[in-house]
């Protein structure tokens, strides 16, 4: 936006501006697409490991919750006795 405004302010020729803008947008789009492709490949590579780790963390959190509930119930029973 700022570059477009600046080019208009200095009266940069519209034809040159369009050619440079289209060429720059094509290069930018290609590079962002390439980056996305490699990020997707990396995601697929590590997604299974992350899912497995998440499953184990969920099991650990569940076991920890059950242990906390048991501890709380026993503490209440001990205080009431």
**Model confidence over 4-57: pLDDT tens digits?**
777 777 787 888 888 888 898 899 999 999 998 888 877 777 887 888 888 898
The pTM is what?
Answer: 0.47
Composition of the chain by helix, strand, coil, percent to 5: 95, 0, 5
pLDDT digits (tens, 9 = 90+) for 53-79: 888 989 999 999 999 999 999 988 888
* Domain chopping of the chain, boundaries: 2-80
């Amino acid at each position: 936006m700022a570059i477009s405004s600046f080019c208009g302010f200095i009266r940069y020729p519209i034809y040159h501006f369009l050619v440079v803008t289209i060429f720059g947008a094509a290069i930018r789009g290609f590079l962002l697409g390439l980056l996305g492709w490699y990020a997707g490949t990396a995601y697929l590579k590590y997604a299974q490991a992350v899912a497995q780790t998440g499953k184990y963390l969920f099991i650990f959190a569940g076991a920890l919750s059950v242990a906390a509930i048991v501890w709380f119930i026993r503490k209440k029973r001990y205080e009431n006795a």
